[in-house]
Structure 1
Amino acid sequence: MTQPPPINKDQAPGTDAAESEGFLSCQPGRRGRPSVAEAEQLYGKILEASWQVLLDTGLDTFTFDRVARHAHIGKATIYSRFAGKRELLEALVQHGIWKRRAAISAIDSSRSLAETFRTRAVETLELLHSPDGKLMERLIDWLDTEAGSPQGGYRATVYRTAVDTIRGHFEQAQQRGDIVIGDCESAARFWLEGILGHYKMASSEVGQDRAQHMRWADRYVSFFFAGVRQQGTPGSPLG
């Protein structure tokens, strides 16, 4: 692993040139250890710069030097928070997973259950087909194949997180009396498998756009919830 460059002994311990010149402070030239808020802000700044560098140049040419130049900080600042490329990319994926889940879950649920899930399906497909979504998929693949992620890999973690979130939405809907679902876990898995299957197939087609996603989501929601209602009917062969 590439080692961080030596720190100039004239600088304060734990800082690099960028920090000592006041990049972490609202007051130019201020020296010393950054506050918790400043440290969190810098952490986010590194992640944002890393993501933009990846979008601009790709994973194969991704380096801490490029991130440092983009964020206008010293490379040693990045090394003080991430031991290497893998650790930084892991942080990016974890942050991306959280953002995905928050964005989809935040979609207005005051409408009918079917309409809420229809909108969430469209937004999920929009995200997966976006440059950000494609980059996230690339990072997950890299971590699972080239970095050798432990415990089943990040792909499994992403799917498990999504299933848990969807299952939670179904359980809440069932508690409100909006629907009867015999097995919320299986329903959540089927929902996710349908969306991911469509995404894989649609990725090979030209001209994917929101209108196409909405048409597919209309059909998918109709079929899915018809099956769920049938499953929840007492005495049905699926119950």
Structure 2
Amino acid sequence: MAMAKGGGEEAGSTPRRGRPRSIETTNAILESAYALMAATGLATTTIDAVARHSSVSKMTIYKWWPSREALLIDAFLHHAAQMLPLPPASSGSPAARTRRHAAAYAEALQGEFGKVQLAVISECISKTGSAGLFYARYLQFRRDALVEIIAAGQNDGSILADGPAGDLYDAIYGSLFYRYVFGITPITPGYARSLVDLILRPKG
């Protein structure tokens, strides 16, 4: 939020013994879970509902995911990996790649993606007392990858902003999410691109 690590198991999932997962079956489960979350909300996205929608047995779902929350996060991760792929090195300078991704994220927040993300985070907090599970299974890998991009720009001199790359990432994406949650001015792709430039201070 799955295929974000290049087509392997979901981020943060624990390998289990037995028959290897079928990619087709895994995708059916994850896509069904996301479709249900987007269409009917989290309350009705139960393991029973996902099993019926995907035509996969509950036993298989419980075997592959340790909890309902883990399944919901991985379903979100799977969708996000397709909707918001991490920018490849061939797509421009570190600042341009960050700018492009932030703009896509801002646009995605305005649709069902934003609502589902907020609902999944809220579910994690209500069930476990923190958003740690969401961070471990979804955010950590994506955050690390974008922090690495920003750090590369600092190292090659194309990003002039000082300070830890992680703090710069948090300033960009934290601001976008904060404004989305509290409805502070419309979040547009143009605003996201301007925010990236304000924080990273790209050269030239």
TM-score, with length taken from structure 1: 0.60
The 5 Å alignment of 1:37-56 reads 39-56=22-39
Distance 1:168 1:65, change over 3 A: same
Structure 2 CA distance, aligned partners of 1:78 and 1:163? 28
Which structure: larger Rg? 1
Task: Look up the match of 2:12.
Answer: none
Distance in 1 separating the partners of 2:154 and 2:117: 32
Partner of 2:117: 136
Distance 1:175 1:133, change over 3 A: same
Which consecutive residues of structure 1, in runs of 5 or more, have no partner in the other structure? Answer: 1-33, 230-239
Q: Percent identity?
A: 20
Q: Is the 8 A contact 1:144 1:155 kept in 2?
A: no
Mapped pair 1:154 → 2:133: yes
Residues 62 and 175 from structure 1, CA distance in 2 versus in 1: closer, same or farther, beyond 3 angstroms? Answer: same
**Corresponding residue of 1:219:** 194
Look up the match of 1:168. 148
Q: What are the superposed Cα offsets for residues 29-86 of structure 1, whole Å, 9 maximum, x if unpaired? A: xxxxx9636x343233222212222222222223333222212234444344446xxx
- Unaligned ranges ≥5, structure 2: 1-17
Match of 1:12 in 2: none
Aligned mates of 1:199, 1:107 — CA distance in 2: 26
Q: Which amino acid aligns with 1:144?
A: I
Deviation at 1:175, TM superposition (A): 3.2
Partner of 2:4: none
1:119 paired to 2:100 = yes
Q: Using a 3 Å threshold, how does the CA distance of structure 1 residues 193 and 143 change in structure 2: closer, same or farther? A: closer
**Separation in 2, partners of 1:101, 1:73:** 23
Counterpart-to-counterpart distance in 2, 1:161 and 1:35: 26
Distance 2:152 2:190 in 1: 27
- Quote the Cα distance in structure 1 between the aligned partners of 2:189 and 2:62: 44
SS of the aligned residue for 1:73 comes to coil
Q: Aligned AA for 1:182?
A: D
1:78 equivalent in alignment to 2:57? no
Cα distance in 2 for partners of 1:204, 1:182 equals 27
In 1, are the aligned partners of 2:103 and 2:188 still within 8 Å (CA)?
yes
Query: Which residue identity lines up with residue 167 of structure 2 in the other structure?
Result: S
Normalised to the residue count of structure 2, the TM-score between the two structures is 0.68
Alignment of 1:102-113 (within 5 A): 103-106=84-87, 110-113=91-94
Helix, strand or coil for the counterpart of 1:106?
coil
Does structure 2 retain, via aligned residues, the 8 Å contact 1:68–1:78? yes
The size of the alignment, in residue pairs, is 183
In the TM superposition, what is the alpha-carbon distance from 1:127 to its structure 2 partner? Answer: 2.1
